[in-house]
Amino acid sequence: MLPGENVCTGCGACKNICPVNAIKMCTNFEGFLYPGIQDEKCIHCKRCEHVCPIKKNIENDEYEEYFAVQAKTDEKESTSGGIFAIIAKYVLSQGGIVFGAAFDKNYKVIHKYIAKEEQLYQLQGSKYVQSEIKYTFRQAKNFLDKGKMVLFSGTPCQIAGLRKYLSVTYENLICVDLICHGVPAPKIWKMYLRTFHKNKNIKSIRFRDNKYMKEKVFSIQYGDSKRYVKEYPNDPYIWGFCYDLFLRKSCYNCMFKGVVSYSDLTLGDAWGAENYAKSLYRRKKRTSVVILRGEKGVQIFDQISNNIEYQKVDKSQVIKYNPCIVSSVSCNKERENFFEELKKHCFRYVLKKYYYKGVINK
Ligand SMILES: Cc1cc2nc3c(=O)[nH]c(=O)nc-3n(C[C@H](O)[C@H](O)[C@H](O)COP(=O)(O)OP(=O)(O)OC[C@H]3O[C@@H](n4cnc5c(N)ncnc54)[C@H](O)[C@@H]3O)c2cc1C
């Protein structure tokens, strides 16, 4: 049996492992993807069940070291300190391949790979929507088997899915995950764009636009050179994300928090850096938190150390200002009502109603 809706993270490991492509990811009413077995194709090998990362833990190294980091280069497309871009550039310079989340032409968020630095901007920047993994685990395995260096980035559950799918340790694989608040429903994102920004010929979307002094500004650039700019959380979609109204059910009880990470490095925002990384904070540049996990994490950090400013920081201080490292957010008490109302009323009315109602979770 595949896991139920409360626990399945939609990582796609089952779809990727199925030898007869009998698993189809289907969208539920809330707009999240869940695996469905096509009986007519299934050969009952149970590989989909065995590969599920929530069913059996993967071995991981519990070593951790915390750093506050800023890229020395100006990484305009990045969300915080630009550390992802620095790691990606290192891998590309070695002839490697980089996997991560990008927008497709309709601004749906999907996983894909790039092999050239000119393409890196596509993967930079956080997209606060669940990304569809598609068959990227298979693609990564192909590159790894050919001896290519592969950097795979994603949420902690996606990395756990990849590691479980691969089942063996590859020396040429680097896994990077994010400190993760939780992922909103792709359907809500699609409906939000269609309802609130329709006919606007969108040119670009930045969930955290670096052009502004404030750390948290959401912006959409339209084709007519007008720009929609909102400071967090003053937009109905951003509000719903920040206050946990339409995150995936498994995110409210995430099994991949804290030391249970299967990545070599974990990246996040250095919230509260003014308290624990004062010298970097004074430089007035955005700062990331990097958690090194195990020997490979340390090696990669060493390789990129000439391209970053960094300072070792105290784990407890970092967690104090960024609790998502160790704990899941709680479910907004209006989540169920929100989705129930979507069955009966139009999207604009429901999203705005909950936005103006302002039910926060604290
Ligand atoms: C859904 C989500 C929730 C987050 N919640 C927190 C949080 O609570 N606290 C915190 O400190 N940081 C959080 N982050 C991480 C943070 O936004 C930055 O990505 C991180 O600080 C790294 O910044 P950067 O400048 O190095 O890289 P950036 O260039 O900003 O990061 C890009 C990386 O993020 C990956 N990525 C982007 N969107 C997605 C997605 N939808 N799914 C999977 N991977 C994605 C890309 O593949 C790439 O590896 C979250 C990110 C996402 C996507």
Q: What percent of the chain has pLDDT over 70?
A: 96
Do 163 and 281 share a domain, yes or no?
yes
Residue 362 has pLDDT above 50, yes or no: no
Residue with the smallest CA separation from ligand 1 atom 8 is 181
CB neighbour list of residue 91: distance below 8 Å, 6 or more residues apart: 97, 98, 149, 150, 151, 174
276 in Cβ contact with 188 (< 8 Å): no
77 in Cβ contact with 85 (< 8 Å): yes
Amino acid at position 133, single letter: I
Which H or E run contains 316?
helix 315-321
> In this predicted model, what pLDDT tens digit does every residue of 132-174 receive, in sequence order?
999 999 999 999 999 999 999 999 999 999 999 999 999 999 9
CA of 125 to the centre of ligand 1 (A): 7
Helix, strand, coil percentages for the chain (3-state, nearest 5) = 35, 20, 45
pLDDT value for 356: 80
- The DSSP bridge pattern shows strands 33-37 and 23-27 to be antiparallel
44 pLDDT band, cuts 50/70/90, is very high
Do 177 and 98 share a domain, yes or no?
yes
* Cβ of residue 85 lying under 6 Å from some atom of ligand 1: yes
Q: Return the structure tokens found at 361.
A: 């979770």
Q: Specify the number of domains making up the chain.
A: 2
CA of 351 to the centre of ligand 1 (A): 24
292 in Cβ contact with 65 (< 8 Å): yes
The beta-strand segments (E) located in 293-349 are: 308-312
148 within domain boundaries? yes
CA of 222 to the centre of ligand 1 (A): 24
* Cβ of residue 164 lying under 6 Å from some atom of ligand 1: no
CA of 161 to the centre of ligand 1 (A): 18
Residue with the smallest CA separation from ligand 1 atom 18 is 268
Do 71 and 146 share a domain, yes or no?
yes
Cα-flanking dihedrals φ and ψ of residue 269, to 5°? -90, 140
* Cβ of residue 12 lying under 6 Å from some atom of ligand 1: no
DSSP code, position 132: B
Do 151 and 300 share a domain, yes or no?
yes
Residue 224 has pLDDT above 90, yes or no: no
Do 158 and 131 share a domain, yes or no?
yes
6 within domain boundaries? no
Domain that holds residue 232: 186-245+332-357
CA pair distance 280, 257, nearest whole angstrom: 27
| Burial degree of 307 (CB within 10 A; 0-12, 13-18, 19+) | middle
Residue 185 has pLDDT above 90, yes or no: yes
Do 135 and 104 share a domain, yes or no?
yes
> In this predicted model, what pLDDT tens digit does every residue of 247-289 receive, in sequence order?
999 999 999 887 566 899 999 999 999 999 998 888 778 899 9
CA pair distance 32, 34, nearest whole angstrom: 7
* Cβ of residue 139 lying under 6 Å from some atom of ligand 1: no
CA pair distance 295, 15, nearest whole angstrom: 31
CA of 126 to the centre of ligand 1 (A): 4
